[in-house]
Structure 1
């Protein structure tokens, strides 16, 4: 029996906009509501985690898990520029305190994709001023809640904008060759819809009206990012880290990156090197003073002499069209550890499926890889499955089912899946192998 140490953090993750509901001051709320929206459906009440967080954390703890990664929603804390909402900070204080009541370690993410609408109007994630705004927001949160937060992820998947930019470039090149515009959802580790050119044009016009600005200047976190935008993101991280260490030096600070297991067929090595440089190595210089790195992995990508090799009809796929390949996680941890000698937390790993037995198999195989990495001497200190709840998967809406807990959204009733208890049993008793 392969057992994790008692102090190993094992649990599940969520993101505020995807689970809380009624995040009305955020950019995503605006994008979901406009005519011709690219979102399959609006988030609305989501799964009402804002009001039902105690029930959800209780379910996690009852299963035997000891860690909950969640995000604080900037658009709630600072609904208008410079105006902080004490009621909302008190809400997150209550969430943190309840974690401790249930012996659950909280891992807090300060920014998980969604931003205040006002930030986008001010220039968004390509604006120099955003670093100052993010620093101010961080200072307020840590001043109010820092004594309750042991781990902070400043920004979730800081490299996501670059990954989306690569997809958009590939789509543009395909259009120039009169090829299909459709990009498979498995091409990026986020719920993204980039189909239908005419609809997108109407959507951007509607967005311009909703934000009161030229739609070409709307820069959300999920926009394809320029090199300057990449620098701004990492300046946000560095300034947030400095504030955290100034106010509460005992808090462990890191960032999370979306990382595929890039594998090369003969002749594909150069493409793997490019992907690893863009997804990982470009960010390392900014992370030298971090305490840990959050690794987020869902699958692998195979590269041949002509580049990325798409899955064929024999490839086992998840509901998100990722290749079903749980061993990717262990491979990514090993790759990261060759260049990163500090602790690693697996901040996201999971799959969307309608068959919970597939989720159980995925968890078992992924955690076998994690345990092997630990036995090899790699400092992996935690694992949070994505996601605790079936939730709002961005542009893909509620159809995707990543959760350990199903939710009947007509009544907001929770239905724990067997996979929740399986993950808890691994924490308590170890892996089967």
Structure 2
């Protein structure tokens, strides 16, 4: 099962999840540093220190990527390192990414930086965070300084990673930083994140004529539990509107969906949309990143109220399971959903190159006495989802690359260090890296540009 010529094979991480060094070289505090100190917010009371110590061990990690034959590395730039309080540039922090980019290019690995993977500087949150209209403009300042420093060598830029999580998990559910439970702030954050994307895209292109700019969305099929039940069908409409269409429609068509606007009217959503905003949001994209982990099967039948639900305007929606295998995160494994979301973008929106920018699974694995890490479940997950990605290509989707999540075990947000997504095992006590069986298999896939048929025991 071969992939198209030139298909890009990579792996992904995020700054707060792997870098550690949270006080090094002038780095300021982020909303995640603050959130980790809230009792009970993070499993085990863990923090982003030392994570995978990537800040100090990036040379070793780049050599590891090269040994695995990865062609691209998707990482994020920590805003608190570059502009610690949202104001002046911290050159020492920016220099880290300068060195990282140089090492990657020297190893033949294409750098794919993401400018925002959820680590807002805490001083900006104290001034309102993403619920405040000033924040998108401070994000554009951060984007400009980063692109000016790296744009001579970096071509592939991503503005935001999963703005749904930033807005709804951070400001409505309160289960991610900054831990707020304010539906009005959440819907304001949706628009301000998208505005920040548009403003950042403009300054990136101004800084580098060779820049290609994209955004990454976590897109999921949303399916009514009973397609003949009007309550389930309407629940699916509402959740699809909040998960997918509230981002896709303004990015590609310069408007928010009418039904979503109506659903969010009680929360003052449209008050945040000013003249010219949607023109900035809908500036042409060079590509779209798609993160996929599971389908959403939803029901509108009465169920217990969910305290701090992320589904603003759809708080009583329930998510019945279907008895499928689950990952260690409790997410059902449904590879066909990846085919569906890729084909949906291909079918419903203007032509655009697509990349799977995150896809992977957490499972419990450990280093065996012989030094190996055998993770057949993760390998099977990746293999089945690559088959699903290939099916989307065969059906016409312009899919040009795939990034496994994650390169290495890391700090998994509210789960702390309890969940392992990496294709490389990290011993957090010693920081020893051990490529897992899935990493060796994925390395062969990248080398062959085709699914490997032989797996080492």
- TM-score of the aligned structures, taking structure 2 as reference length: 0.79
Q: Which deviates more from structure 2 when the two are superposed, residues 108-117 or residues 241-250?
A: 241-250
Instruction: Give the aligned partner of residue 388 of structure 2.
Output: 369
Instruction: Let me know the Cα RMSD of the aligned residues.
Output: 2.3
Q: Which residue of 1 aligns with 2:186?
A: 226
SS of 2:152 mapped into structure 1: helix
- For 1:181-207, what per-residue CA distance to the aligned partner results, in whole angstroms no more than 9, with x for missing partners? xxxxxxxxxxx859xxxxxxxxxxxxx
| Structure 2 partner of 1:417 | 436
2:336 to 313, 327, 333: 327
1:310 aligns with 2:320: yes
Instruction: Please say if 1:64 is aligned against 2:69.
Output: yes
Q: Of 107, 114, 123, which aligns to 1:118?
A: 123
How far apart in 2 are the matches of 1:155 and 1:113? 8
> How far, CA to CA, are the matches of 1:133 and 1:263 in structure 2?
38
Q: 1:52–1:273: structure 2 CA closer, same or farther, 3 Å change rule?
A: same
Judge conservation of contact 1:266–1:305 (CA < 8 Å) in 2.
no
The partner residue of 2:356 within 315, 323, 346 is 346
Deviation at 1:390, TM superposition (A): 0.5
What is the aligned residue count? 384
Structure 1 distance, partners of 2:424, 2:75, is 15
Rounded Cα–Cα distance in structure 2 between residues aligned with 1:129 and 1:75: 17
Aligned to 1:282: 246
- Residue 248 of structure 2 corresponds to residue 248 of structure 1: no
Which residue of 1 is the match for residue 294 of structure 2? Answer: 299
- After superposition, the C-alpha distances for 1:286-318 in whole angstroms (9 at most, x for unaligned) are 354111111111011213563544226x43111
- Unmatched tracts of structure 2, length 5 or more: 24-28, 253-281, 302-316, 366-374
Structure 1 consecutive aligned stretches of length 4 or more whose deviation exceeds 4 Å: 218-225
Q: Is the 8 A contact 2:171 2:180 kept in 1?
A: no
Q: Distance in 1 between matches of 2:20 and 2:187?
A: 33
TM-aligned CA deviation for residue 221 of structure 1: 9.2
- Asked if 1 retains the 8 angstrom alpha-carbon contact of 2:339 and 2:388, the reply is yes
Alignment map for 1:24-423 (pairs within 5 Å): 24=23, 25-34=29-38, 36-40=39-43, 41-164=46-169, 168=173, 193=175, 225-264=185-224, 265-267=226-228, 268-283=232-247, 284-287=249-252, 288=282, 289-304=284-299, 306=301, 308-311=318-321, 314-340=323-349, 341-355=351-365, 356-423=375-442
Change (3 A) 1:371 1:221: farther
Q: Distance in 2 between matches of 1:18 and 1:222?
A: 23
1:182 is matched with none
What is the TM-score when the length of structure 1 is the normalising length? 0.83
Q: Deviation at 1:276?
A: 2.2
Cα distance change on mapping 1:239 and 1:221 into 2, 3 Å: farther
Preserved CA contact (<8 Å) 2:171 2:186: no
Contact map agreement 2:354 2:399 (CA 8 A) in 1: yes
Secondary structure of the corresponding residue to residue 134 of structure 1: helix
Q: Residues 162 and 339 (structure 1 numbering): CA distance in 2 closer, same or farther, change over 3 Å?
A: farther
Q: 1:324 to 1:222 in 2, by over 3 A?
A: farther
Mapped contact 2:35–2:179 kept (Cα < 8 A): no
- 3-state SS of paired residue (2:124): helix
Whether the 8 Å contact between 1:263 and 1:303 is mirrored in structure 2 is yes
Counterpart Cα distance in 2 of 1:140 and 1:165: 26
Q: Using CA pairs under 8 Å that are at least 6 residues apart, name the structure with larger relative contact order, 1 or 2.
A: 1
* Distance in 2, Cα, partners of 1:55 & 1:327: 36
Is the 1:301–1:308 contact (alpha carbons within 8 Å) kept by the matching residues of 2? Answer: no
Contact 1:120 1:220 (C-alpha < 8 Å) held by counterparts: no
The secondary structure found in structure 2 opposite 1:406 is: strand
Q: Could you tell me how far 1:6 is from its partner in structure 2?
A: 4.2
Deviation of residue 137 (structure 1)?
0.7
Mapped partners of 1:238, 1:401: distance in 2: 34
Unpaired stretches in structure 1, ≥5 consecutive residues: 169-191, 195-217
